[in-house]
């Protein structure tokens, strides 16, 4: 028996308690997703508790998290492969819970940003390890269904996050939006210790590509900074444009670096697969659109319709709740027809939801007839697109690349989220919001949705492709 066979489960060898493993991993993913949507809901409340801070300052509590998460997620996949996916998963949960306490106890925005950075390191350690553990627990033919259910869990957290978060914020203050993670995380660690099996992908050595990590973090950070500060009186347009250009140059500089480095942050060879490449580019674009739509919702509810925190949080829940059954059904459909038809349908529908929000709602609150239809339309769209893109990004990858492939997909979506949050703060974080301000937001939403649809045409995950790949390896 080889070393690999002794320490690593074969790709098609499933554990007997696959759904129990799925449930434990999903507790952690649910916690991370819940935390993200709670912060969107509580943005205004947190800002009011720090009188000296601006919306641009506070946006870094969201963007710093996403930037570090994106940069550290890819090496985190390799760390999980080498040192043990169960071990790294549990370490990530513990770090996330500890940092959540620090976030809730933050005396100022600067401390909150630092705590969020630590929180993001915990999240990026647990996320790729969790998905790799889940994928290994099921046979290959069931993985599309599992990925649909996996996406549904994140959608369920997104659905419950605003409502639960808004209620928690109203009752105990925004600090409890972070403290809520503590009991969830501790329960997850308790269950993981006895129920998860360790799996390791042997590596001769693991060297972190710190140059690549810094290129990604600094490049994305510079672009986000340039966008967020466009309305600032402290920076000229030329200075900010120069910062954005510098950020783009830093990101592009990774290509020659990766070619010359024997152990880059991620192998450029993965991008030779059209499905992997276009699934990730589409995921980046769609993440911008999703962040814009989700974040701007709270600006509309609180500034145009003047809803309370609890009403605003509760009123968004039907959209994400629609994602849950849609994601499950899309996973089952994808196992028969592939992901491309679902992606094309979902992106067109998402563009139509943006058109609805642009043309229908007005200053007079009429939630049932003017907002709810668009919300359900967007929920159906997200349920078709996000789980499908996640599944497509790892379709056909060998088992040794599950964690890294998943990490890259999560990373590009986090980068897209940074851009989406930055654009929303730039366009909507102002004292007197008008309906016309939202027209620009939804025009961007529609455009990005259609671009995502075009990028999905080269994606080919039809089951026949899997049969070809499998037969080719026999």
All residues at 6 or more sequence positions from 79 whose CB lies less than 8 Å from its CB, including other chains: 88, 125, 206
352, two tokens: 């139509």
DSSP 137: T
pLDDT at 1: 31
Integer Cα distance of 263 and 208 in angstroms:
8
317, two tokens: 């829940």
pLDDT at 472: 46
Spell out the per-residue pLDDT of the chain, length 474, in tens. Answer: 333 333 334 444 455 577 888 888 888 988 887 777 777 888 888 888 888 888 888 988 888 888 888 888 777 777 777 788 888 999 999 999 999 999 999 999 999 999 999 999 999 888 878 888 888 778 777 777 787 777 777 767 767 777 787 888 888 888 988 998 999 999 999 988 877 877 666 555 667 788 888 888 888 888 888 887 877 777 888 898 999 999 999 989 988 998 888 878 777 777 777 888 899 999 999 999 999 998 899 899 989 999 988 888 889 888 888 887 888 888 788 888 889 999 999 999 999 999 999 999 999 999 999 999 999 999 999 989 988 998 888 776 766 666 677 778 878 888 898 899 889 988 998 878 899 999 999 999 999 999 999 999 999 887 766 544 544 444
Q: Whole-prediction pTM value?
A: 0.80
Torsion over CA: 11, 15, 16, 20 (sign): negative
Write down how long the chain is: 474
In the chain, count of helices (H) and strands (E)? 20, 0
Integer Cα distance of 91 and 87 in angstroms:
6
166, two tokens: 């808004």
Integer Cα distance of 281 and 297 in angstroms:
25
pLDDT at 182: 93
122, two tokens: 């915990």
Integer Cα distance of 397 and 268 in angstroms:
14
Name the burial class of residue 211, with classes exposed (0-12), middle (13-18) and buried (19+) by CB atoms within 10 angstroms of its CB: middle
Integer Cα distance of 462 and 239 in angstroms:
48
* Rg for the chain, CA atoms, rounded: 21
pLDDT at 242: 92
DSSP 370: I
Distances (CA, A) of 176 to 33, 347, 454: 16, 35, 42
DSSP 273: S
175, two tokens: 């600090």
pLDDT at 402: 66
């Amino acid at each position: 028996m080889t070393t690999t066979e002794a320490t690593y489960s074969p790709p098609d060898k499933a554990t007997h308690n696959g759904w129990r493993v799925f449930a434990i991993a999903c507790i952690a993913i649910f916690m991370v997703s819940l935390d993200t949507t709670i912060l969107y809901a509580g943005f205004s409340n947190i800002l009011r508790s720090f009188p000296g801070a601006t919306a641009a300052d506070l946006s870094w509590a969201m963007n710093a998290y996403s930037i570090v998460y994106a940069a550290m997620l890819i090496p985190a996949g390799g760390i999980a492969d080498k040192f043990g996916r169960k071990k790294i998963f549990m370490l990530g949960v513990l770090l996330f819970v500890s940092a959540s306490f620090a976030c809730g106890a933050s005396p100022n925005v600067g401390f909150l940003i630092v705590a969020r950075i630590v929180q993001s390191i915990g999240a990026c350690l647990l996320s790729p390890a969790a998905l790799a553990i889940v994928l290994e627990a099921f046979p290959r033919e069931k993985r599309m269904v599992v990925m649909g259910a996996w996406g549904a869990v994140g959608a369920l957290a997104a659905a419950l996050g605003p409502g639960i978060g808004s209620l928690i914020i109203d009752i105990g203050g925004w600090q409890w939006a972070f403290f809520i993670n503590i009991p969830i995380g501790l329960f997850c660690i308790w269950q993981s210790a006895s129920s998860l099996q360790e799996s390791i992908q042997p590596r001769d050595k693991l060297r972190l590509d710190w140059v690549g990590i810094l290129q990604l973090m600094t490049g994305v950070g510079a672009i986000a900074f340039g966008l967020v500060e466009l309305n600032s009186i402290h920076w000229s347009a030329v200075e900010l444009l120069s910062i954005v250009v510098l950020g783009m140059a830093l990101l592009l500089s990774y290509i020659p670096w990766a070619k010359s480095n024997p152990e880059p942050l991620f192998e450029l060879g993965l991008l030779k697969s059209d499905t992997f490449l276009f699934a990730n580019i589409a995921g980046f674009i769609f993440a911008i659109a999703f962040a814009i739509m989700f974040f701007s919702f709270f600006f509309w509810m609180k500034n145009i319709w003047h809803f309370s925190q609890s009403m605003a949080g509760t009123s968004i829940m039907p959209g994400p709740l629609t994602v849950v059954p849609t994601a499950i059904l899309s996973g089952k459909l994808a196992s028969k027809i592939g992901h491309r038809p679902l992606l094309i349908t979902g992106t067109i529908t998402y563009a139509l939801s943006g058109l609805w929000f642009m043309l229908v709602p007005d200053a007079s609150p009429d939630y049932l007839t003017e907002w709810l239809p668009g919300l359900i339309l967007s929920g159906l769209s997200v349920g078709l697109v996000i789980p499908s893109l996640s599944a497509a990004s790892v379709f056909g990858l060998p088992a040794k690349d599950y964690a890294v492939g998943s990490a890259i997909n999560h990373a590009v979506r986090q980068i897209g989220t940074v851009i989406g949050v930055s654009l929303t703060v730039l366009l909507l974080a102002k004292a007197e919001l008008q309906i016309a301000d939202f027209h620009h937001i939804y025009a961007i939403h529609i455009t990005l949705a259609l671009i995502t649809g075009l990028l999905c045409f080269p994606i080919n995950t039809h089951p026949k492709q899997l049969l070809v790949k499998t037969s080719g390896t026999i």
